[in-house]
Amino acid sequence: MSIWYTLCELLPWEMLQWDFMKNALLALLLMAPLFGILSTMIVTGRMSFFSDALGHSAFTGIAIGSILGLTAPLWAAVGFSILFALLFSWVRSRSNQAADTLIGVFSSTAVALGIFVATLGGGSFTKYNKYLIGDILSVTRSEIGMLALVLLGILVFWVLFSNRLSLMAIHPQLASSRGFPVGLSQTLFTAAIAVVVTLSISSVGLLILNSLLVLPAASARNVARNLREYHLFSVVFALIAGVGGLTVSYYLGSSAGAAISLLLALVFGITFAFRKVRG
């Protein structure tokens, strides 16, 4: 950490004189590749709304955790999100309803349960606001350490499983004909999204979290011609928007999460126009 602090002081950014900004920048530099990488598969696998639903379930997990008097409701949320994700996958594989219908069922149930639990016995909802909006500036050193570990875990997972996951997302018949263990890879991927979503919820906020999981890859798809470019652009866009959004929010005094999302939307607009030029 001290190396990072020294490094920050060498940079000419005025905002980096504050420790909380140094922490926030480091957290974003870890989160952006996480979102960039996961985003590629979420978009290819048409799971945008699923990741949104996971965010809602994470909130429910936090509410349940704090009602039960747990000191770290975040871990309760991680557990609940994984449970929610696995239950959803299980129902999906046994139901003939469309995936978006099932996502609607799960998502709305999770939100209702979260609000129900949070307001049980006349409890105030205000203390949960930080999970809705998020605050990257209050990120702690231990949270940063956790993010670094998760990033490492996701990178290892990606090296081992991304070929299978890509093939499953683009051509399920070919994947199953090649005997790939479809179920295992998908379950692990779902659990990975659940963990990342839950751990970022207090920094980024539930309401705009999903834009970070969809927009980097959606923008990259506008211009990428192969998987390498797809991953590269997605991570680069997430990094640019992450650092840019933090800077903008510092000078304008707005929420960092919202600024990052808006920048990503701008990137999408630019790549969309560029796609047209390239034909």
Name the site residues for other proteins (rule: CB under 8 A). Answer: 40, 44, 158-159, 162-164, 166-167, 170-171, 173-174, 177-178, 220-221, 224-231
The structure tokens 């890859």 sit at 217
Kindly tell me which of 65 and 216 has the beta carbon lying closer to other proteins: 216
Q: How far apart are CA 240 and CA 256, in angstroms?
A: 13
Query: Residue 11 — left, alpha, or beta (φ > 0 → left; ψ -120 to 50 → alpha)?
Result: beta
- Pull the structure tokens for residue 178: 């090649």
Kindly tell me which of 60 and 222 has the beta carbon lying closer to other proteins: 222
Kindly tell me which of 159 and 277 has the beta carbon lying closer to other proteins: 159
Kindly tell me which of 209 and 220 has the beta carbon lying closer to other proteins: 220
Tell me the H-state helices in 45-98: 48-67, 73-94
Kindly tell me which of 10 and 277 has the beta carbon lying closer to other proteins: 277
Burial class (CB in 10 A: 0-12, 13-18, 19+), 44: middle
Q: How far apart are CA 128 and CA 261, in angstroms?
A: 21
Cα–Cα distances in angstroms (integers) from residue 218 to residues 56, 211, 222, 275, in the given order: 22, 10, 7, 12
Provide the minimum distance between the beta carbon of 216 and other proteins in the complex, in angstroms, as a whole number.
13
Kindly tell me which of 136 and 239 has the beta carbon lying closer to other proteins: 239
Provide the minimum distance between the beta carbon of 269 and other proteins in the complex, in angstroms, as a whole number.
17
Kindly tell me which of 149 and 155 has the beta carbon lying closer to other proteins: 155
Provide the minimum distance between the beta carbon of 46 and other proteins in the complex, in angstroms, as a whole number.
9
Residue closest to 258 by CA, chosen among 274, 275, 241 = 241
Provide the minimum distance between the beta carbon of 157 and other proteins in the complex, in angstroms, as a whole number.
11
* Torsion sign over Cα 197, 200, 201, 204: negative
Provide the minimum distance between the beta carbon of 35 and other proteins in the complex, in angstroms, as a whole number.
15
Yes or no: say if 54 and 197 are a contact pair by the CB < 8 Å rule.
yes
Q: What are phi and psi of 123, to 5 degrees?
A: -65, 150
Provide the minimum distance between the beta carbon of 96 and other proteins in the complex, in angstroms, as a whole number.
16
122 contact partners, CB below 8 Å, separation of at least 6: none
- Pull the structure tokens for residue 199: 């751990």
Provide the minimum distance between the beta carbon of 159 and other proteins in the complex, in angstroms, as a whole number.
5
